[in-house]
Structure 1
Amino acid sequence: MSDLPSLPVTFRPSRTRAVLLTAGLAIFVVITTVAMLLEQLSAGERLSFVLTGALLFAVLLLLSRPKVVADESGVTVVNITSRRRLEWPEIVQVNLRPGDPWVFLNLSDGTSLPALGIQPGIAKERAITDARTLRALAEARSARDPEQHRD
């Protein structure tokens, strides 16, 4: 298929990521600034403010982590706290139904894996396009790969 992107390709909710990282940085800067401007705070109290801001930023950074990376040999799904590598033949179906919070990958072992890197939250049309692209890649690669991997 000539309309498929060249690999590797990374799918991630860019707008959501930008919002989370911007908010995290803003929260950290505001809390740190407030801690430094409040003269009645001790050094330990200021440090606790700064650490609280850093913790909030870290949580938002973790929430911005999801992505799906497709390459020649398969797909790597990076969710909030997990990472899973899949070979193309393991992916039976790529689903993004109306109302789904993100793409679900139906796998050859009968399980389903959420792929948070493609989510229709802020950019619905982008998520639909990305899901269709990943579906087309999975269909094209899965049909071809069994012969390639049997050497």
Structure 2
Amino acid sequence: MESSDAVRPVVVRPIKIRRVVIPVAVVLVVVFAVVAVLLRNTPTGVYFRVSDQIAMAGLGVLLACGALLLARPRLRADLSGLEVRNVIGTQRYSWDEVQAVSFPDGAAWARLELPQDEYASVMAIQSTDGAHAVQAMRDLRELRREVEARRGGE
């Protein structure tokens, strides 16, 4: 017999996109830093100032931060509801709001079916992650069944 503490929360983050964007962000910072250092010594006759070098390095940091936003998605689900963090913004949903958890054919990521034909994308569960995404969907659906079973027992 399971106690209420035996239900473990589901926490999912994408895997493949993180493996790509983190090294890309590092490369962007390094490349733009090297370009910034070498910017003063150009044979073009254009005079670059220190402010131009700082701007070039800053541009590399900004582009790296933009790339790292793609690694931000996360899903946390427990008995009280779901917290979906996508590239920009975090939204909390109670299980009462969620009508279904689906992964439509050809979709890049999973979604929560909400009332009135609305849905919320769950970018943490991505099709490119293959077996990881399948296991995440199974865990999420199992948690949903547990929530419904507890509601039925009340």
Contact 2:10/2:140, CA 8 A, preserved across alignment? no
Once the two structures are TM-superposed, the CA of residue 146 in structure 1 deviates from its matched residue by: 6.7
Once the two structures are TM-superposed, the CA of residue 8 in structure 1 deviates from its matched residue by: 2.8
Query: Which residue matches 2:22?
Result: 21
Mapped to 2, the partners of 1:87 and 1:76 lie a distance apart of 9
Mapped to 2, the partners of 1:139 and 1:80 lie a distance apart of 28
Match of 2:119 among 99, 106, 112: 112
Once the two structures are TM-superposed, the CA of residue 139 in structure 1 deviates from its matched residue by: 2.3
Mapped to 2, the partners of 1:44 and 1:8 lie a distance apart of 49
What TM-score comes out, normalization by structure 2 length? 0.82
Task: Read off the aligned partner of 2:37 and give its amino acid letter.
Answer: M
Query: Which residue matches 1:103?
Result: 110
Once the two structures are TM-superposed, the CA of residue 129 in structure 1 deviates from its matched residue by: 1.7
Once the two structures are TM-superposed, the CA of residue 91 in structure 1 deviates from its matched residue by: 1.6
Residues 39 and 93 from structure 1, CA distance in 2 versus in 1: closer, same or farther, beyond 3 angstroms?
A: same
**What stretches of structure 1 of length at least 5 have no aligned partner?**
none
Contact 1:91/1:142, CA 8 A, preserved across alignment? no
Task: Read off the aligned partner of 1:23 and give its amino acid letter.
Answer: V
**Percent identity for Structure 1 against Structure 2:** 30
The count of residues paired between Structure 1 and Structure 2 equals: 145
| Superposed CA RMSD | 2.2
Pairing of 1:118-137 with structure 2 (within 5 A)? 118-121=125-128, 123-137=129-143
Contact 1:89/1:142, CA 8 A, preserved across alignment? no
- Max radius of gyration: which structure? 2
Pairing of 1:2-151 with structure 2 (within 5 A)? 6-40=7-41, 41-121=48-128, 123-145=129-151
What TM-score comes out, normalization by structure 1 length? 0.84
Contact 2:78/2:143, CA 8 A, preserved across alignment? no
Superposed CA offset, 1:33-75 (max 9, x none): 2211333332111111111101111111212111111123111
Residues 97 and 110 from structure 1, CA distance in 2 versus in 1: closer, same or farther, beyond 3 angstroms?
A: closer
Q: Secondary structure at the match of 2:56?
A: helix
**What stretches of structure 2 of length at least 5 have no aligned partner?**
42-47
Once the two structures are TM-superposed, the CA of residue 109 in structure 1 deviates from its matched residue by: 5.0
Mapped to 2, the partners of 1:87 and 1:147 lie a distance apart of 18
Task: Read off the aligned partner of 2:118 and give its amino acid letter.
Answer: T
Q: Secondary structure at the match of 1:117?
A: strand
